[in-house]
Structure 1
Amino acid sequence: MNILIVDDEQFAIQGMLDGINWDMLGFDKVLTACSYEEAVSIVKKTYVDILVSDIEMPGESGLKLIAYMNEHSANTECIILTCHDEFDYAQTAVRLNCMEYVLKPVRYQKLTEILLRAREKVNQRRQNEQIRQYGQQFIDSLAKETKGDAVNALEMAVEYIDSHLAEELSVRDLATLCYVSADHLTRLFKKKYGMTVSEYIQEKRIRLAGELLQREDLTISMVANTVGFGNYSYFTEQFKKHYGMTPREYQKQIRK
């Protein structure tokens, strides 16, 4: 964790460096700057978790620096440390979401307590971000697994249907075979093929019937049974819906 102290008075910076137990606070780097420009230069190179800044400095003010931090390093906790108690300054600091507005002189013990609170806020934000990232990773992982399971279930169902068209096929039995619910399997077929499982089976049977009717060694009844239609009249009705003609008319047309 890094902290940046900004003050145009070097003795003020040195006083904080000497008067605060930085090892106890657990900062990795204690950076210092004497102006807005120097502080911005540091921030561009090194991430700053906590900023402690005076207000009035040569060039741009500490409030301008905090505005810069809000734009370029929004998660940095900012603390104003100044001898100016003007209401306008304090009001601006509040508007800029400063964590603390501290008047000089300040006891190092009090400043240490403020820095401890700032450190806790930084740590809490980091923990929240880690939890959010872990949660997102879990959701992404679960989505991939779910997607994989869905693809496997769909492939299993289609493969079984294609190789068992002559048999009685029910959505419930297919769902059990694929380890999913009947409703879920239906949703998968609707999403992939734009039709229900039953409609898909019917479509497959009729298309296969059209191919088999081109063979001269198969009668219409044999074709109907082969593709899973035990009722000849129902087969004729469904075939005509799909091809616009009866199986016999279709057979005559392709054998001309």
Structure 2
Amino acid sequence: MKLNIKTILIVDDEPRTRQGIKQTLEVWAAGSYRIETANNGVEALELLQHEVIHLLITDVRMPEVSGLDLIRSLNRHARRPQIIVISGYAEFQYVQQALQLGAVNYLLKPLDKKELLEVVVEALKREEEQQRHEKLEKLVDHKLAELDPGNNMSIGEPVREALLYLEQHLHETLTMADMAQRLHLNASYFSVLFKDQVGLPFSEYLSRLRVQRAKELLVHTRLSVGEIAEKVGYQTDKYFIKVFKTQEDLSPSRYRQQMTGTSDEIQ
């Protein structure tokens, strides 16, 4: 079973419409997407609480919990799916509200299969783009990204030289005292100078740089966590995992799984 298979949820209280959409999408998807259905908004809310839904296709008018109520509820979800709404011609005012609430497109009944598939493909492309953006956000350390030694005139030559050395020797044992000695500076003076010009203490900058490099290796290589720990300058993978979890709130293996859909664990 694929770890990264995506889910499409169809919500409609009319069985023929619901099953018709499901059958059309199942033939089109050929197993590359999981197609789920809900008979009404209440069932859909339950599913949305326990599953990650990538695309929601919902009727706008349903008893108890309408499609509009369903869309509003998604504001409380950390991961909001792409949304397509279904309506009759007489309900277009509901469609307008749904679009204002974040739906990306709509379909009018009776549904045309070709139009359905075109709209679904477009929504899934949007979802992929959103996911790509989220992954880039997770990959980048914004404090490091804000620092551009080449164009930052407030960074003097000694600190600039230190930053370059750290980039090139990240796999080695690096301490502030050793770096100060290499630059022929007093350690206390170098410590103050570094923090003042970089905006981070030397130890925090080094830690962030190592975790940033580790994130890149986790995503772009199949090196083990232990091998990556060594490449970014940690003597033991146990300590590396501890530092990584402190910065990212999850383990290196879990990070790799979230970013690539693969796992280091035996299933």
Q: One fold, TM greater than 0.5?
A: yes
CA distance in 1, matches of 2:109, 2:78: 26
Q: Does 1:26 align with 2:49?
A: no
| Native 8 Å contact 1:153 1:178 kept in 2 | no
Instruction: For 1:35-74, list aligned pairs within 5 A.
Output: 35-74=40-79
Identical-pair percentage = 26
- The structure 2 residue matched to 1:103, chosen from 84, 104, 108, is 108
Q: Does 1:91 align with 2:96?
A: yes
Measured after TM superposition, the shift of residue 84 of structure 1 is 4.1
Q: Deviations over 1:13-38 (max 9, x none)?
A: 111122333425831x2110111110
User: Residue 84 and residue 62 in structure 1: after superposition, are their counterparts in 2 closer, same or farther (change >3 A)?
Assistant: farther
Instruction: For 1:39-188, list aligned pairs within 5 A.
Output: 39-136=44-141, 139=144, 152-155=175-178, 157=180, 178-179=182-183, 188=190
Measured after TM superposition, the shift of residue 74 of structure 1 is 4.8
User: Residue 87 and residue 8 in structure 1: after superposition, are their counterparts in 2 closer, same or farther (change >3 A)?
Assistant: closer
CA distance in 2, matches of 1:23, 1:84: 28
State the TM-score, normalized to the length of structure 2.
0.54
Q: Which one has the bigger helix percentage?
A: 1
Measured after TM superposition, the shift of residue 70 of structure 1 is 2.8
Measured after TM superposition, the shift of residue 73 of structure 1 is 4.9
CA distance in 2, matches of 1:98, 1:178: 58
- The structure 1 residue matched to 2:20, chosen from 9, 15, 28, is 15
CA distance in 1, matches of 2:58, 2:175: 60
Letter in 1 for 2:32: G
Q: CA RMSD in A?
A: 3.7
Letter in 1 for 2:103: C
The secondary structure found in structure 2 opposite 1:59 is coil
Letter in 2 for 1:83: G
Letter in 2 for 1:40: L
The secondary structure found in structure 2 opposite 1:30 is strand
Equivalent residue number for residue 192 of structure 2 = 190
| Alignment gaps of 5+ in structure 2 | 1-5, 148-162, 197-267
| Alignment gaps of 5+ in structure 1 | 158-176, 195-256
CA distance in 1, matches of 2:7, 2:16: 21
How many residues were matched structurally? 170
CA distance in 2, matches of 1:189, 1:38: 58
The secondary structure found in structure 2 opposite 1:48 is coil
